[in-house]
Amino acid sequence: MTETDKIATGLPATQADVQWTRVIQPQRGLFSVPLAEIWAYRDLLLLLVRRDFVALYKQTVLGPIWFVIQPVMMTIVFTIVFGNIANISTDGVPHTVFYLAGITMWTFFADAFTKTSETFIINANIFGKVYFPRVIVPLSVVLSGLLKFAVQFTILVGFVAYFAATTEIVRPNWAVLLLPVLLLMMGTLGLSLGMIISALTTKYRDLRFLMQFGVQLLMYATPVIYPVSSLPEAYRVYILANPITPIVETFRYAFVGRGDFDPMHLAYSGGVILALLILATVIFNQVEKNFMDTV
Amino acid sequence: MSTPALRVENVSKMYRLGEVGTGSLSHDLNRAWARLRGRPDPYALVGAVNDRASEGTRDFVWALRDINFEVGQGDIVGIIGRNGAGKSTLLKLLSRVTAPTEGSIYINGRIASLLEVGTGFHPDLTGRENIFLNGAILGMSKQEIRSRFDEIVEFSGCAKYIDTPVKRYSSGMHVRLAFAVAAHLETDILIVDEVLAVGDAEFQQKCLGKMKDLSTKGHRTVLFVSHNMAAVRQLCPRSILMNQGTVVNSGETNAIIEQYMTLGSTAARIVTWPKEQAPGSEGVSLRGIYVKNHLGQTEGALGSDEDILVEVDYELDAPRGDLRVGISLFNSEGTLILISSDYEAGGSGAIRPEGRHSSTVRIPGHMLLDGKYTVGVGIETPRIQDFVSGETCAFEIDEMVHDGWGPKHAVRMPGVIHPSLEWTASQASE
């Protein structure tokens, strides 16, 4: 059957006399980002963030306190293992606040990355039934992460205030003003990497296994449990090539007073993140339309 | 003239069969290479027509092939067809869940789909929270949902439980709430797929009524996919018939349903399959369906007063126990008249040896109305496995009754069946 059936009108209609509000075609431009559409779905974005938060606490006794327990426990373990047993340098900064600062920033990235990377697989059920801009889900994940960060950050501020009052070393400085920039960079990085992985996992599940330990390994390639200043010259260049390094170091410099703060390093990091964001957009656009056929 | 709300032009959709494994990477690379050189997709050329019954020899299949149609604003159109005809794929394309491989779809206005109600319901959230979340997923703004909230709750009839997590809801309440949200969507085009399979009869009627209202009062366009012919007939003045990924016909619903019921059947009341193409699985294959008159003939007229024999011919590659051969009889309106299985022959639990078998059922005369019928055949082990399902053979009962003087035309009776019933007539004694 090649001729168009006029089911309802029974009258021939030509292309010209109708203003179509939407046209669905096989491919979309690689770089296009449906900003207007994302804006139209902003309520969904906020509701998803809310869902992530509310649903997490249902049927728990401690509720949001769990957000605090996790980094505190990690800090205690790190202090014992890396600080006291392995005796890794913390640049003279008290162990607790040094690790807590690193963990707080790192968790924000790691959460954004791992949760975004599962976007398609976890939401296959919803995505298979109804359309909305898919990028809403990863965005909501990063926003939820930001809220979680805010909770953990207040704990960090408490520790910083205590050590600033009791020691000579911990000295927050003007660089704290860079916090929004650091968060933007970290969030974008987690989002971009996560989107790339999620787009690829729709077809190749192998990446899921890689993700499971990849993120852990990545933490050791990031100055979370050690300062860049303590690195041997030979390794330093590799660790600095990691775009997360300048963000963590700047964050620590700002709040703890010690760290490798270099605007050039930060600019390099920003460049890498931008490139990854563009790559992520291209790959995500490729996959978004047809992923239901392969997931 | 009503303006079109939707136009589908030369739309095709190709699926890859089999598992995604190591081979898929090399296919992807080949495809990317072809695209770089501006060549067409090398794998698109080998797609076969979608026919479930015959085993695909190709790796790719066209779930939809050159679909064209147009729907006007405010129309309710039914989409019918057998399983695998491409109905759901078409709806997925329209609702943008997946993209077409070829062709374009033009849409006028906002489109929302009700492919499965309750999409995105989170079990831990309350009914109230889920109304907002579900509404937002379907594309409503918070403001819109708030303004309709009371209406939604009232329609769902779940007011009492609105602050209870939905995981404590019964499945019926779940569906009611979900449909209520979707039915109050501010959209121009609504796509509905088999939502009525759940919910009680009263709620089903309520849903149908609501959809009709949306169209007539709200001037919305509704696309309705269902296997429930009664619902399609009640709701949709016009329908589209799909088969094997193409649009077979479209037009007035009654005519389309009639065509659907006799789809793929020939005038002769025999359907047979050679061994290689026989439908079935696991060594059980259906080889033939014969509709015979009381003399065992498969040609000539069937009279409404004669017994009709339906013979199901099948083959077992290995001995099997606990097998049932069943038939379901539909009239031309798609109404299921009866089902029956050879369990009634007795001894169906016994092992049936390898080889050809047949089961025959006698449908007594003086029971069915004249008209067109379709008999569907299934072979199964109850509650465990279906080996054959949905294969059909069509036949027609003529307006003939035979009396002592030969065949003569009878008057067509209204109703679904017309059995010969026993009456007594007496004069009341005073």
**Per-residue pLDDT tens for A88-97?**
888 888 989 9
What letter represents residue A251's amino acid? F
Distance CA B53, CA B58 (A): 14
Residue A75 is predicted with a pLDDT of 92
Domain ranges, residue A247: 41-293
Whether A12 maps to a domain, the answer reads: no
Q: How many CB atoms lie within 10 A of CB B356?
A: 10
For chain A, how many structural domains are there in total?
1
| CB-CB under 8 Å, A25 with B100 | yes
Whether A162 maps to a domain, the answer reads: yes
Q: Which residue of A has its CA nearest to B240?
A: A7
Residue B405 is predicted with a pLDDT of 59
Report the pLDDT averaged over residues A197-201.
Answer: 86
Find residue B6's DSSP bridge partners.
B71, B107
SS3 at position B308: strand
Spell out, as residue ranges, where chain B has pLDDT lower than 70: 1-2, 17-28, 31-32, 35-59, 115-119, 194-200, 262-268, 300-301, 399-412, 430
- Say which residue the tokens 């659907």 belong to: B260
- In this structure, what token pair is assigned to residue B96? 């943008």
What letter represents residue B219's amino acid? H
CATH class of B270-409: mainly beta
Distance CA A273, CA A253 (A): 21
For A55, which of B75, B124, B132 is closest by C-beta distance? B124
How, if at all, do strands B280-281 and B284-292 pair?
Answer: antiparallel
Distance CA B271, CA B268 (A): 8
For B240, which of A7, A26, A40 is closest by C-beta distance? A7
Q: Which residue of A has its CA nearest to B74?
A: A8
Report the pLDDT averaged over residues A50-57.
Answer: 81
Distance CA B49, CA B379 (A): 26
Residue B331 is predicted with a pLDDT of 86
- In this structure, what token pair is assigned to residue B37? 């050189």
CA distances for B73 relative to B7, B110, B233, angstroms: 11, 12, 19
Report the pLDDT averaged over residues A234-262.
Answer: 90
SS3 at position B208: helix
For A1, which of B16, B139, B246 is closest by C-beta distance? B246
Residue A190 is predicted with a pLDDT of 94
Contact criterion met (CB below 8 Å) for B237 and B253:
yes
Q: How many CB atoms lie within 10 A of CB A62?
A: 10
For B70, which of A1, A13, A44 is closest by C-beta distance? A13
Residue B197 is predicted with a pLDDT of 55
Torsion angle, alpha carbons of A77, A83, A87, A91, to 10: 150
Residue A159 is predicted with a pLDDT of 92
Contact criterion met (CB below 8 Å) for A111 and A219:
no
Question: pTM for the whole thing?
Answer: 0.70
Whether A10 maps to a domain, the answer reads: no
Give a three-class secondary structure readout of chain A.
Answer: CCCCCECCCCCCCCHHHCCCCEEECCCCCCCCCCHHHHHHCHHHHHHHHHHHHHHHHCCCCCCCHHHHHHHHHHHHHHHHHHHHHCCCCCCCCCHHHHHHHHHHHHHHHHHHHHHHHCHHHHCHHHHCCCCCCCCHHHHHHHHHHHHHHHHHHHHHHHHHHHHHHHCCCCCCCHHHHHHHHHHHHHHHHHHHHHHHHHHHHCCCCHHHHHHHHHHHHHHHCCCCCCCHHHCCHHHHHHHHHCCHHHHHHHHHHHHHCCCCCCHHHHHHHHHHHHHHHHHHHHHHHHHHCCHHHCC
Q: Which residue of B has its CA nearest to A292?
A: B98
- Long-range interactions of B194-199: CB distance < 8 A, separation 24+: B194/B225, B194/B226, B194/B227, B195/B114, B195/B116, B195/B117, B196/B226, B196/B228, B196/B231, B197/B228, B198/B117, B198/B171, B198/B172, B199/B172, B199/B175
Whether A18 maps to a domain, the answer reads: no
**Per-residue DSSP letter, B83:** T
Residue B55 is predicted with a pLDDT of 46
Tell me: the pLDDT tens digits for A127-164?
A: 877 888 888 999 999 999 999 999 999 999 999 999 99
Contact criterion met (CB below 8 Å) for A67 and A148:
yes
What one-character-per-residue DSSP string does B90-149 give?
HHHHHTTSS--SEEEEEE-S-EEEESSTTTT--TTSBHHHHHHHHHHHTT--HHHHHHHH
Distance CA A104, CA A72 (A): 10
| CB-CB under 8 Å, A20 with B139 | no
Helix axes B142-156, B171-183, angle to 10 degrees: 130
| CB-CB under 8 Å, B20 with A293 | no
For B97, which of A4, A58, A129 is closest by C-beta distance? A129
Residue B245 is predicted with a pLDDT of 86
Residue A17 is predicted with a pLDDT of 55
Distance CA B209, CA B76 (A): 12
CA angle B399, B403, B409 (to 5 degrees): 25
- Look at A32 and A107; give whichever has higher pLDDT: A107
Residue A16 is predicted with a pLDDT of 47
Burial B319-344 (b: 16+ CB within 10 A, else e): ebeebbbbbbbbbbebeebeeebbee
CA distances for B119 relative to A41, A125, B181, B327, B339, angstroms: 16, 8, 11, 35, 34
User: Which of A54-58, A185-189, B403-407 shows the highest mean pLDDT?
Assistant: A185-189
Task: Give the mutation candidate from B133, B215, B223 for the A interface (greatest A CB count, under 10 A).
Answer: B133
Q: How many CB atoms lie within 10 A of CB A209?
A: 9
Q: Which residue of A has its CA nearest to B242?
A: A1
The minimum CA-CA distance between B395 and chain A, rounded to whole Å, is 27
- Give chain A positions within 8 Å (CB) of B122: 51, 55
Contact criterion met (CB below 8 Å) for B124 and A44:
no
- Give chain A positions within 8 Å (CB) of B66: 1-2
Whether A224 maps to a domain, the answer reads: yes
SS3 at position B181: helix
Domain boundaries along the sequence of chain B: 4-261, 270-409
Report the pLDDT averaged over residues A65-87.
Answer: 89
Burial B87-125 (b: 16+ CB within 10 A, else e): bbbbbbbbbbbbbbbbbebbbbbbbbbbbbbbbbbbebb
Residue B43 is predicted with a pLDDT of 58
Q: Which CATH superfamily is domain B4-261 in?
A: P-loop containing nucleotide triphosphate hydrolases (3.40.50.300)
Residue B58 is predicted with a pLDDT of 53
Q: Average pLDDT, whole number, for chain A? A: 85
Contact criterion met (CB below 8 Å) for B77 and B240:
yes
